[in-house]
C-alpha cells in the first residue's frame, strides 16, 4: 500500500524522475557535461519541431533535420539511446508535476554558480510574483515578458496562474534560452523565446512556441512579431545616428570656408 501511495504521490514521483534524469546524464559524463546538456536541448527542440508534430513524422523540415543529424552523429548508438531516455524522462517529469523545471534543476546543480553569476529564481518566489501581477481573466491580450528569463520559471509561474496569455522571453545565454523554449513548449505556453542581449536589444535567434498549432519553430528575426519590431527600431536608430555623425563631421569642413570674424585684441 505504501508503495502505491508513493507512486501516486506526484511530488515523490517527480523527485524520483528528476533523480533518474541526473543518473542518465551521469552515464555520459565522460564527455564534457555542458556539451552533452546543450546537445540534448538542441536535439529535443528539433524533435518537437512544428512540422514533425503536425504531420506525425510523415514530413520533416529539411533544415531542422540537418541540424538534428549534425548534433546526434557525434554520439554512439548506445549514447543516442540514453539521450532519448532523458527526453522521455523529461516528458514524464512535466506530466507528473505541471509547470515544473526538472532540467533547470540539473543545470543549477552542475553549471550555475557564483563564477558565472547564474542563479535561477526559486519557483516559490516566482509564484508569489505571479499572484501579485497576473490577471486570471485575460485571454491572449496580455504579454508576459521576462527579460533575462533563465529557464523560464517566471513564465511557468505566470502560466500556472493564467495560461491564456502571450509569453515573451529572452536570455543572453544560448543554452538557457533553449531550456526556456523547451519548458514553454512542454507546458503549452504560446509565445516567442529569443537568444539575445537585453541591454543592447540585439537578438540572434528566435523560437516560436506553439504559435502554429503545437510545436517549436526557429524563425528569422524579421518574422518575429515582437523581436522583429525591435530589430527594425534598432536599425532605424543606427541610421539616424550615422546621419547625425555625418552632419557633425561635415560642419568643421564647412567652417573652414567661412571668414574669420573674431576680433583680435592684440
Distance CA 81, CA 43 (A): 12
pLDDT at 261: 45
Distance CA 196, CA 228 (A): 12
Q: 115 to each of 29, 38, 132, how far by Cα in Å?
A: 21, 19, 32
What is the number of other CB atoms lying within 10 angstroms of the CB of residue 264? Answer: 5
User: Which residue blocks in 27-58 are alpha helix, DSSP H?
Assistant: 33-47, 50-54
Question: Are 118 and 150 spatial neighbours (Cβ–Cβ below 8 Å)?
Answer: yes
* Grid cell for residue 35: 556539451
Please state which of the ranges 6-10, 82-86, 169-173 shows the lowest mean pLDDT: 6-10
Across residues 30-50, what is the average pLDDT?
A: 95
DSSP state for residue 49 in the 8-state scheme: B
Please determine, for residue 264, whether its predicted confidence score (pLDDT) is greater than 70: no
Distance CA 132, CA 129 (A): 5
Give the confidence band of 1 by pLDDT, cuts at 50, 70, 90: very low
Strand order in the sheet with 143-147: 143-147, 166-171, 190-196, 203-209, 216-219
Entry pTM:
0.84
pLDDT at 239: 77
Give the confidence band of 140 by pLDDT, cuts at 50, 70, 90: low
Distance CA 123, CA 127 (A): 6
pLDDT at 201: 84
| Per-residue pLDDT reduced to its tens digit, 79-127 | 999 999 999 999 999 999 999 999 999 998 888 765 566 778 999 999 9
Amino acid at each position: 500500500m505504501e508503495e502505491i501511495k508513493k507512486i501516486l504521490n506526484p511530488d515523490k514521483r517527480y523527485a524520483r524522475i528528476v533523480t533518474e534524469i541526473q543518473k542518465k546524464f551521469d552515464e555520459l559524463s565522460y564527455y564534457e557535461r555542458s556539451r552533452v546538456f546543450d546537445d540534448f536541448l538542441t536535439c529535443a527542440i528539433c524533435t518537437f519541431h512544428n512540422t514533425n508534430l503536425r504531420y506525425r513524422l510523415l514530413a520533416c523540415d529539411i533544415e531542422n533535420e540537418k541540424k538534428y543529424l549534425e548534433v546526434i552523429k557525434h554520439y554512439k548508438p548506445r549514447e543516442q539511446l540514453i539521450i532519448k531516455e532523458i527526453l522521455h524522462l523529461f516528458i514524464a517529469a512535466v506530466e507528473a508535476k505541471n509547470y515544473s523545471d526538472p532540467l533547470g534543476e540539473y543545470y543549477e546543480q552542475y553549471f550555475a554558480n557564483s563564477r558565472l553569476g547564474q542563479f535561477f529564481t526559486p519557483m516559490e518566489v516566482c509564484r508569489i510574483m505571479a499572484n501579485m501581477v497576473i490577471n486570471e481573466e485575460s485571454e491572449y491580450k496580455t504579454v508576459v515578458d521576462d527579460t533575462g528569463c533563465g529557464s523560464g520559471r517566471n513564465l511557468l509561474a505566470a502560466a500556472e496562474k493564467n495560461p491564456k496569455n502571450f509569453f515573451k522571453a529572452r536570455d543572453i545565454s544560448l543554452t538557457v534560452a533553449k531550456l526556456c523554449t523547451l519548458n514553454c513548449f512542454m507546458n503549452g505556453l504560446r509565445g516567442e523565446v529569443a537568444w539575445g542581449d537585453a541591454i543592447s536589444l540585439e537578438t540572434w535567434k528566435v523560437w516560436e512556441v506553439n504559435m502554429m498549432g503545437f510545436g517549436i519553430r526557429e524563425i528569422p528575426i524579421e518574422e518575429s512579431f515582437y523581436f522583429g519590431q525591435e530589430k527594425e527600431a534598432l536599425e532605424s536608430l543606427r541610421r539616424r545616428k550615422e546621419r547625425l555623425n555625418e552632419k557633425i563631421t561635415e560642419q568643421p569642413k564647412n567652417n573652414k570656408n567661412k571668414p574669420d570674424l573674431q576680433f583680435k585684441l592684440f
